[in-house]
Amino acid sequence: MTDFAALATDIAREAGDMLLAKRPSNPEVVQTKSSPTDVVTALDRASEELIRARIREARPDDMILGEEGGDTPGSSGVRWVVDPIDGTVNFLYGLPEWAVSIAVEVDGRIVAGVVNVVPRGELFSASLGGGAVLHKDGLAVSRLRCNSGVPLGQALVATGFGYDASRRRVQGQVAAAVLPSVRDIRRGGSCAIDLCSVAAGRVDAYYERGINYWDYAAAGLIAAESGARIGGLNGRPPNGELTLCAAPGLFEELHDLLVPLDPERDA
């Protein structure tokens, strides 16, 4: 598992360095996906192509699931889950909240995860059972522990909003209902970074509807290895309908606040 984490770290750093070096002042938008505001840049594609090439060089029999390139079959029982730029709109606008995210799944279970927050010079990594670590400018600087013992009323909560206008309308209603019951809300624009922020104690909790597996595969392990709980509503695993993350205790309080708000609806 540590070998997987080391390889994922090397690849995520190479992809991040390429993105930082090649990002123009206005990255070209290649196409939109689910809506006109859900964009793909040329460098999303280039990043994923680089990551796929490095994985194939090192482990040619592994499967790869990438946001831009879909599923590539393999025979080893190992699958890499890749988000070449999580926070593409931030990347497009020159905001620092974007990252390269790479997870490794063995027989259906995530065993290693790396999130390289390139503009900050920060890289978060974890291996299953081995804890989570923050690296700064290439050096391991701290083991990560999420904040514990924080009551809901004092919790700083991260969230995000979808690309579809009708979904955002509902998400705004949910956030408005959550806001009076917590310390405050933060919206950074990257699921992976938000989950790593839970792991690092920079926020106390996170919830969001509409994320994809590649958004949370690596960062979800990092958060879990920091002591946080990550899951869906009513005992389900994390999923695109709704995913929330916080230390035990706060997780349940936030869960019970969200359930009556029906946050999985789109209208």
Structure confidence at residue 63 (pLDDT): 98
Q: Are 215 and 191 in contact (CB under 8 A)?
A: yes
Structure confidence at residue 1 (pLDDT): 64
Q: At what angle do helices 213-225 and 191-200 cross, to 10 degrees?
A: 0
Q: How many CB atoms lie within 10 A of CB 130?
A: 14
Give me the amino acid identity at 106. V
- d(CA 53, CA 51) in angstroms, rounded, equals 5
- d(CA 233, CA 243) in angstroms, rounded, equals 7
In the chain, the largest separation of any two C-alpha atoms, in whole Å, equals 51
Place of tokens 């806001």: 179
Structure confidence at residue 183 (pLDDT): 98
The answer for residues whose C-beta is within 8 angstroms of residue 112's C-beta and 6 or more apart is 1, 2, 4, 5, 8, 103, 104, 125, 126, 127, 128, 218, 221
Closest listed residue to residue 62, CA positions, set 52, 49, 75, 48: 75
pLDDT tens digits, the chain, 267 residues: what are they?
A: 679 999 999 999 999 999 999 998 877 777 777 777 777 888 999 999 999 999 999 999 999 999 988 999 999 999 999 999 999 999 999 999 999 999 999 999 999 999 999 999 999 999 999 999 999 988 888 999 999 999 999 999 999 999 899 999 999 999 999 999 999 999 999 999 999 999 999 999 999 999 999 999 999 999 999 999 999 999 999 999 999 999 999 999 999 999 999 999 998
Q: Are 195 and 230 in contact (CB under 8 A)?
A: yes
Give me the amino acid identity at 44. D
Structure confidence at residue 80 (pLDDT): 98
The torsion of the CA quartet 135, 141, 147, 148, rounded to 10 degrees, works out to: 120
The number of residues in the chain equals 267
Give me the amino acid identity at 81. V
